Amino acid sequence: MENYEQLIRQLVDAAMAGAGKTGAGCGAGTCADGSDIPVGVSNRHLHLSQQDLNVLFGSGYELTAIKDLGQPGQFACKETLTVCGPKGAIEKVRVLGPVRSRTQVEILAGDGFKLGVKAPVRQSGDLTGTPGVTLVGPKGSVVLTEGTIVAQRHIHMTPAEAERYGVRDGDVVSIDFDTERGGVMRNVLIRATDTSALECHVDTEEANAFGVSSKSHFRIIK
Amino acid sequence: MENYEQLIRQLVDAAMAGAGKTGAGCGAGTCADGSDIPVGVSNRHLHLSQQDLNVLFGSGYELTAIKDLGQPGQFACKETLTVCGPKGAIEKVRVLGPVRSRTQVEILAGDGFKLGVKAPVRQSGDLTGTPGVTLVGPKGSVVLTEGTIVAQRHIHMTPAEAERYGVRDGDVVSIDFDTERGGVMRNVLIRATDTSALECHVDTEEANAFGVSSKSHFRIIK
């Protein structure tokens, strides 16, 4: 019977988290509830292999960085492409660098309707069985057989940070935004690697639906 | 000590509700938890006064219905307009009928960035202090001084249905979507009138962010 009090305390915490009530989560150096984690809002974008970059922009082409992104070594490029599907096209889709081993197109769920492409919600790099699109650049076109996804919302952090938040790489958590249009996003993936910078990535539709910007804060609900 | 079990049960229920687990909410004729309420997904659209309709489409113009909507007497029209703001324009925005006493433009949060218009999240009809846009039609243009909103998500129902769900007109509830991209939307307005048809209205960004379609179901969390 002596464990009841602890059990009840855990259940009260879980119930309050579900109801959007906030506890005092901030200690020395970090907020254990995640309310110190910056939010990054991603619009549609794509990553290119060097092989596809050569076809689209010319042999040996090098990407032109115009803005560093939150994750170390990642940058937005001057270059944009037209993404085409069977039902429509979207112009000026931003290329992110550096080049990767495989080309990956990250669209918004709404883009899928416009393009006529049923892109699944996937983690970056998990492209098996995803649909293709056609990329059109200034020097050529690439017909992809796969590689189009809607990015699963996720939180980048180091393993040390993960320990502080009580999560591990690959965990799936919920996050609670206390905004005017707020609520809880479930199925948020924890991606903990040594080279990560602390940042939660949601896409523009998710940010708009929740009334969230890069200045917003959330709490992690495990 | 004998009340601990009941207390724990209540707390488990509350925690499970927060975590998106579903209980047995359906009795005779209705699901008390709201899981029988149809979802309607609204794209950007606008309602026109007869005065503005005259300017945009010609004096004495009558709207052409092409599709009945969920709410009795409401319909989508053949007519579309261009909506313009200081930073951009959106073409082919659908007009909904019938005409109303005031023109009201309901955009997506993302449209606000494209147009350069800071539209607040508001209930339909609550237009005081909202920004204007310029509407361009085949016969003329209308410069609105106000009337642009992002519609607050809401559930239409009759007062009798509200009683069955244990809510009242004007209440604000949360709704829980158990989808792959699911979660909880807070601040969902209950709109109960005698002429309402049972339907939950979210916009396309909200639907996309939650992976929700007109075939989705949710539970009301009060």
C-alpha dist (Å) from residue B78 to B82, B105, B152: 14, 17, 25
Shortest Cα distance, chain A CAs vs residue B160, angstroms: 27
Same domain assignment for residues B147 and B159: no
What pLDDT is recorded for position A10? 57
Q: Supply the range of the domain harboring residue A193.
A: 27-39+153-221
For residue B22, is it within any domain? no
What pLDDT is recorded for position A8? 60
Q: Are strands B75-84 and B89-97 parallel, antiparallel or unpaired?
A: antiparallel
Same domain assignment for residues B113 and B166: no
CATH number at residue A200: 2.40.40.20
For residue A9, is it within any domain? no
Same domain assignment for residues A173 and A80: no
For residue B161, is it within any domain? yes
Q: Are strands A154-157 and A121-122 parallel, antiparallel or unpaired?
A: unpaired
Determine the Cα angle at B117 with ends B190 and B59, to 5°.
85
The DSSP bridge partners found for residue B143 are B134
Cβ atoms of B137 and B77 within 8 Å: the answer is no
Burial tier of B186 (Cβ tally within 10 Å: 0-12, 13-18, 19+)? buried
Residues of B in contact with A185 (CB under 8 A): 181, 183
For residue B3, is it within any domain? no
Same domain assignment for residues B112 and B67: yes
Q: What is the pLDDT of residues B142-163, one digit of tens each?
A: 999 999 999 999 999 999 999 9
What pLDDT is recorded for position A1? 43
Shortest Cα distance, chain A CAs vs residue B187, angstroms: 7
Same domain assignment for residues B111 and B203: no
Quick check: B40 pLDDT over 60?
A: yes
- How far is it, in rounded angstroms, from Cα A150 to Cα A122? 6
The 3-class secondary structure across B173-189, one letter per residue, is EEEEECCCCCEEEEEEE
For residue A5, is it within any domain? no
Cβ atoms of B128 and B76 within 8 Å: the answer is no
Average pLDDT over residues B4-24: 51
Quick check: A21 pLDDT over 50?
A: no
End-of-domain residue from the set B136, B151, B166:
B151
Shortest Cα distance, chain B CAs vs residue A153, angstroms: 9
End-of-domain residue from the set A113, A132, A151:
A151
Count the helix, strand and coil residues of chain A and give each as a percent rounded to the nearest 5. 20, 35, 45
Domain total for chain B? 2
For residue A56, is it within any domain? yes
List, as one string, the DSSP characters of B12-51. Answer: HHHHHHHTT-----B-SSSBTTSTT--EEEE-SEEE--HH
> Does B1 lie at the interface with A, CB-CB under 8 angstroms?
yes
Same domain assignment for residues B140 and B157: no
Residues of chain A above pLDDT 70, percent? 86
What pLDDT is recorded for position A136? 98
Residues of B in contact with A205 (CB under 8 A): 110, 205, 208-209
Higher pLDDT, A8 or B174: B174
Same domain assignment for residues A122 and A145: yes
What pLDDT is recorded for position B32? 85
Looking at the whole model, is its pTM more than 0.80?
Answer: yes
Same domain assignment for residues B103 and B65: yes
Same domain assignment for residues A200 and A130: no
Residues of A in contact with B91 (CB under 8 A): none
State the complex-level ipTM: 0.82
For residue A20, is it within any domain? no
End-of-domain residue from the set B99, B134, B151:
B151
